[in-house]
Amino acid sequence: MKTHARTFSTPPATLWTDKEAAGAPDQRISILVVDDEEGIRRYVDRVLSDAGYRITIAVDGADAIAAVAREGRFDLLLTDVAMPNMTGAELARRLRCDDPDLRVLYLTGCSDQLFAERKMLWHQEAFLEKPCSMVGLLQAVSLAITGRVTRIAGRQNVEVRSRT
């Protein structure tokens, strides 16, 4: 599989401002961010909130399950892999029992642990290595949600599509 990237010189725009991509303003794309490291949670929250996503933060798997019970369905689970008491893969499995269409993006410095637990990713799952840039995070989230990268806030517009 080859990846093709094009950079456009049009003015920067905010992610998900198109009605087709995000719906009405009160129906912004919702992301549940789960990481046991406070610095990572703050970074991800700032980047994704600034891009227009509705973010809910959880410190571990139990906190994430409580957030889903309290707030309902999320469009994306963005989770660390290596966390105390419950791994990100176990959290994703549990949440998908009630929401099989939940998209998952693992943000991890331990991809070896992820693939030690399982031989392959499930449908609608991806991973991004830590540390990651702001643009890398926004592109990975966009790909996880829509299957393509669209306008990155405050940056040049980049569109990435996979070719087989």
Both tokens of 74, joined, read: 């999320």
Give the other-Cβ count within 10 Å of 99's Cβ.
13
CATH superfamily of 2-18+28-163: Response regulator (3.40.50.2300)
Amino acid sitting at position 102: L
Buried b (16+ CB within 10 A) or exposed e, 100-118: eebbbbbbbebeeebeeee
Instruction: Give the tens place of pLDDT for each residue, 13-34.
Output: 334 444 344 444 447 899 999 9
Q: Which of 9-18, 52-61, 155-164 has the lowest mean pLDDT?
A: 9-18
Both tokens of 161, joined, read: 């599509």
pLDDT confidence of 1, banded at 50, 70, 90?
A: very low
pTM: 0.73
Residue 9 has pLDDT above 50, yes or no: no
More confident residue, 45 or 119: 45
Q: What is the mean pLDDT of the chain?
A: 76
**In the sheet that 54-58 helps form, which strands lie side by side, from edge to edge?**
54-58, 30-34, 76-79, 103-108, 125-129
Sign for the pseudo-dihedral over CA of 77, 130, 127, 9: positive
Listed by start position, the domains of the chain span: 2-18+28-163
The CB-based long-range contact list for 98-101 (8 Å cut-off, 24+ gap) reads 98/68, 99/68, 99/73
Residue 20's region, left for phi above 0, alpha for psi from -120 to 50, else beta, is: alpha
Amino acid sitting at position 39: G
Both tokens of 32, joined, read: 């549940």
Q: 3-class SS at 28? A: coil
Q: Which of 74-83, 98-107, 114-123 has the lowest mean pLDDT?
A: 114-123
